[in-house]
Amino acid sequence: MRRHEIRRLTVIQRLIEGSLSVADAAELLQLSTRQVLRLKKRVLEEGEEGIIHKNRGRKPKHALPDELKHQIVSLYSTPAYTGCNDSHFTELLAEREGICVSVSTVRRTLRAAGIPPARKHRPAKRHRVRPRKERAGLLWQMDASQHPWLEDRGPKLVLHAAIDDATGRVVGAVFCSEEELAGVQPMTQFSQAVLELGISLSFARSPQAKGRIERLWGTLQDRLTMELRLRQVSTLEEANRVLPELIEKYNARFAVEPAEPESAYRPHPGSYGYGMATPSICSSRVPSPNPKKTSGKTPPVHLPVRPINHLQTILGASSG
């Protein structure tokens, strides 16, 4: 018998003995007089056992069947799902296995089976959060992520992506064999291309300055890696072929409505061609890392720049 049941029994016994009134017993137990009279009747008929709730020891009607619990644990233990987080695993169960249960049910089932969470949940750090932009298209954040996207099935790839600040929608993404945003600075080929389109550039100097896309990498490195594993993707070409489907799936799950419905996107200038900004060499004046006094002029330095045939995939993602 539990502690609160012992206390109830003591009060009901005093009520039966006549040392307490029904109103006093109800006040002590924080129950209605009707509930107190019901408890008194059960104790008189069943003795001390009458104080114990009748559902004690019974399996709830809505409880998950043991067979289904075993199936969930067995599926998670397979190579296809190992390492998946609880929320994503719940979605995959409904999508691929036809098992529709809640995230909390999956979490309880896995923890009861001794399976720890895929990621440790650290306490949130207190920091000032920058509000989202009010309208879609006012700000994109672009970056590249080097990660074993194909695990041990294929080559190392780098995912380039752009995310809209107002909506959290991924507006463009492409896999490359190497990072093509590395070293992008003002007055290079990429910068000239976007400036000619009337787009201003701002360069982040720390992960905190581009938190929206940094959080995107945390999500994609978890979910996208799992989705590519389930599809047995093993090449760059296959990865880029399934990427649009996976990005749409991400947007459907995580994108939000902007604060203001009016879009900030402008019509695509049809007369402009990306080919106008595709020379392999451009020249710029940059300070030397070890400057020496010369005639007072900074010597010109020729900077090799790769063609932007991959990056235009990102730039043109929302042009339609």
Q: Give me the pLDDT at residue 307, please.
A: 34
One domain, residues 251 and 215:
yes
Residue 82 lies in a domain: yes
Tens digits of per-residue pLDDT, 112-144? 999 998 877 666 667 677 888 999 989 999 889
One domain, residues 233 and 167:
yes
Q: Give me the pLDDT at residue 136, please.
A: 92
**HEC string for the chain:** CCHHHHHHHHHHHHHHHCCCCHHHHHHHHCCCHHHHHHHHHHHHHHHHHHHCCCCCCCCCCCCCCHHHHHHHHHHHCCCCCCCCCHHHHHHHHHHHHCCCCCHHHHHHHHHHCCCCCCCCCCCCCCCCCCCCCCCCCCCEEEEEEEECCCCCCCCCEEEEEEEECCCCCEEEEEEECCCCCCCCCCCCHHHHHHHHCCCCCCCCCCHHHHHHHHHHHHHHHHHHHHHHHHCCCCCHHHHHHHHHHHHHHHHHHHCCCCCCCCCCCCCCCCCCCHHHHCCCEEEEECCCCCCCCCCCCCCEEEEECCCCCCHHHHHCCCCC
One domain, residues 94 and 33:
no
Residue 305 lies in a domain: no
One domain, residues 151 and 252:
yes
Amino acid identity of residue 106, one-letter, is V
One domain, residues 148 and 252:
yes
Which residues does the chain have with pLDDT short of 50? Answer: 186-187, 273-320
Residue 274 lies in a domain: no
Residue 317 lies in a domain: no
One domain, residues 176 and 236:
yes
Residue 314 lies in a domain: no
Q: Could you tell me whether strands 170-176 and 281-285 are parallel, antiparallel, or unpaired per DSSP bridges? A: unpaired
Q: Which pair of tokens denotes residue 27?
A: 């006040």
Q: Which pTM does this prediction carry?
A: 0.65
Q: Give me the pLDDT at residue 197, please.
A: 76
Residue 19 lies in a domain: yes
Q: Give me the pLDDT at residue 305, please.
A: 31
One domain, residues 255 and 156:
yes
Strand-pair partners of 144: 160
One domain, residues 94 and 46:
no
Domain that holds residue 92: 66-112
One domain, residues 198 and 160:
yes
Residue 219 lies in a domain: yes
d(CA 312, CA 190): 9
Residue 24 lies in a domain: yes
One domain, residues 176 and 251:
yes
Number of folded domains that form the chain: 3
One domain, residues 99 and 144:
no
